[in-house]
């Protein structure tokens, strides 16, 4: 559950978490189910997966095809569904520094607590794809300065993502990290780090928190090796995001369920696999139908409640 006073702004709560001694683990979410599940599992914050939202919402690749407003509206719904702070992925900022100034305000208004902005050329690519191209570091610095200037909440986090390791190597990434920190970034997200040496170089180079993106599961063959969270904390990492775990788990479960349904259709067998499926009661609990029922009791007229429930029982 979130730490601190429940009335504290979500932006401030995340700042407090990042200032604490423990590393902040942020599952990547992409819809109402996943963000509610992350909160219910006890995680103190979550972050949207740009790839997850683009893939799940639009059925397209993570190559800049999702528009700014499609992204903002998806984030608005997820942020409103939970009480924990939610960070968002704003891709390249959808334009130049002037655009970024406005983009920050749109995401602020959507209720998220910060955004990632990356230094790729548009159209961007998923961080673990080949063929990435970078903008000049000073152009990225201007975007960061514009984001800082544009935000109205001083605790709103500007997380500067760099894809330089894959393009310019660790030396280029370190140079960019210093420039981005000087420009006012609150956190650095070096994507596709190759191991502990890269992490140590970046943590030592800058005075702002470093966020590392990790995969989950050996079969995923991530660019970044699977480093335990406790070890990342020892290396000085302040935040760990896990963007692919929940969409990958959902795809795996849906694939198996559809396979069983296809088998049932073809053979005529009844397939009952409660171990693979959430029950209707599980879903109702996750989506807080209890609150709906309580509000009905409080706000509807007695005759309305009778028509909804007692009359139906009488017909059975």
Q: Are residues 293 and 164 in the same domain?
A: no
Whether residue 123 is preceded by a cis peptide bond, meaning omega within 30 degrees of 0, is yes
Please tell me whether residues 176 and 286 are part of one structural domain: no
Tell me what pLDDT residue 64 has.
Answer: 82
Beta carbons of 193 and 199 less than 8 angstroms apart: yes
- Is residue 3 included in any domain, yes or no? no
pLDDT tier for residue 2 given thresholds of 50, 70 and 90:
very low
59 plus 133 within the same structural domain: yes
Do 79 and 212 have their domain in common? yes
| pLDDT above 70 (res 3) | no
What's the pLDDT band for 122 if we cut at 50, 70, 90?
A: confident
Instruction: Give the tens place of pLDDT for each residue, 205-262.
Output: 999 999 999 976 545 455 678 899 999 999 999 999 999 999 999 999 999 999 999 9
Note whether 134 and 236 are same-domain residues: yes
**Quick one: three-class SS letters along the chain?**
CCCCCCCCCHHHHHHHHHHCCCCEEEEEECCHHHHHHHHHCCCCCEEECHHHHHHHHHCCCCCCCCCHHHHHHHHHHHHHHCCCCEEEECCCCCCCHHHHHHHHHHHHHCCCCEEEEECECCCCCCCCCCCCCECCHHHHHHHHHHHHHHCCCCCCEEEEEECHHHHHHHHHHHHHHHHHHHHCCCEEEECCCCCHHHHHHHHHHCCCCEEEECCCCHHHCCCCCCCCHHHHHHCCCCEEEECCHHHHHHHHHHHHHHHHHHHHHHHCCCCCCCCCCCCHHHHHHHCCHHHHHHHHHHHCCHHHHHHHHHHHHHHC
Model confidence at 286: pLDDT above 90: yes
Residue 249 lies in a domain: no
Mean pLDDT on 128-147: 90
Within a domain: residue 2? no
Q: How many angstroms separate the CA atoms of 87 and 274, rounded?
A: 34
Instruction: Please give the pLDDT value at position 295.
Output: 96
Does a structural domain hold residue 259? no
In the prediction, which pLDDT does 217 show? 59
> In the listed set 184, 218, 243, which residue is the last one of a domain according to the structure?
243
Residue 257 lies in a domain: no
pTM above 0.85, yes or no: yes
pLDDT for 4 equals 45
Say which residue, 146 or 125, is predicted with more confidence.
146
Q: Is residue 144 part of a domain?
A: yes
Domain CATH code at residue 25: 3.20.20.60
Q: Which two tokens stand for residue 174?
A: 């370190």
Would you state the pLDDT for residue 11? Answer: 97
Instruction: Tell me, yes or no, whether 106 and 40 share the same domain.
Output: yes
| 224 and 305 within one domain | no
- Tens of pLDDT, residue by residue over 55-97, are 999 999 888 889 999 999 999 999 999 999 999 999 999 999 9
What is the share, in percent, of the chain residues with pLDDT greater than 70? 91
Q: Within 13 Å and on the Cβ side, how many CA atoms surround 209?
A: 24
> Are residues 28 and 168 both part of a single domain?
yes
The domain boundary, picked from 243, 262, 289, lies at 243
Tell me, yes or no, whether 178 and 303 share the same domain: no
Domain-located, residue 253 = no
Residues 16 and 66 in one domain: yes
162 domain residue, yes or no: yes
Residues in Cβ contact with 20 at an 8 Å cutoff, skipping those fewer than 6 apart: none
Q: How many beta carbons lie within 10 A of that of residue 297, not counting itself?
A: 9
Residue 263 is predicted with a pLDDT of 94
Alpha-carbon distance of 160 to 118, in angstroms, equals 6
The predicted model gives 152-176 an average pLDDT of 96
Q: How many domains does the chain have?
A: 2
pLDDT at 312: 63
CA distance 91 to 62: 10
Mean pLDDT of the chain, nearest integer: 92
Range of the domain at 314: 278-316
Same domain, 188 and 122: yes
Structural domain ending residue among the three candidates 243, 270, 294:
243
Q: Are residues 190 and 105 in the same domain?
A: yes
């Amino acid at each position: 559950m979130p730490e601190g006073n429940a009335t504290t702004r979500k932006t401030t709560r995340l700042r407090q978490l990042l200032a604490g001694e423990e590393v902040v683990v942020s599952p990547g979410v992409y819809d109402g189910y996943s963000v509610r599940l992350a909160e219910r599992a006890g995680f103190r914050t979550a972050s949207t997966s740009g790839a997850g939202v683009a893939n799940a919402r639009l059925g397209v690749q993570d190559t800049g095809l999702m528009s700014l407003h499609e992204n903002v509206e998806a984030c608005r719904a997820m942020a409103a569904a939970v009480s924990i702070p939610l960070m968002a992925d704003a891709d390249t900022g959808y334009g130049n520094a002037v655009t970024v100034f406005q983009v920050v305000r749109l995401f602020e208004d959507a209720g998220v607590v910060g955004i990632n902005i990356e230094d790729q050329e548009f159209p961007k690519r998923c961080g673990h794809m080949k063929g990435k191209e970078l903008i000049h570091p000073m152009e990225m610095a201007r975007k960061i300065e514009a984001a800082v200037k544009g935000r109205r909440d001083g605790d709103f986090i500007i997380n500067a993502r760099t894809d330089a390791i894959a393009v310019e190597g660790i030396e280029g990434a370190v140079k960019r990290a210093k420039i981005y920190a000087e420009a006012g970034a609150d956190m650095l997200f070096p994507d596709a780090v190759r191991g502990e040496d890269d992490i140590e170089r970046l943590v030592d180079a800058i005075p702002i928190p470093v966020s590392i993106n990790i995969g989950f599961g050996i079969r995923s063959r991530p660019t970044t090796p699977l480093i335990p969270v406790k070890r990342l904390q020892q290396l000085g990492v302040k935040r760990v995001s896990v963007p692919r775990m929940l969409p990958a788990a959902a795809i795996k479960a849906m694939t198996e369920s559809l396979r069983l349904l296809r088998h049932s259709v073809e053979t005529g067998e009844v397939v009952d696999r409660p171990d693979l499926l959430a029950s209707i009661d599980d879903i109702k609990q996750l989506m807080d139908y209890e609150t709906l029922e309580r509000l009905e009791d409080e706000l509807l007229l007695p005759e309305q409640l009778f028509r909804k429930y007692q009359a139906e029982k009488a017909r059975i």
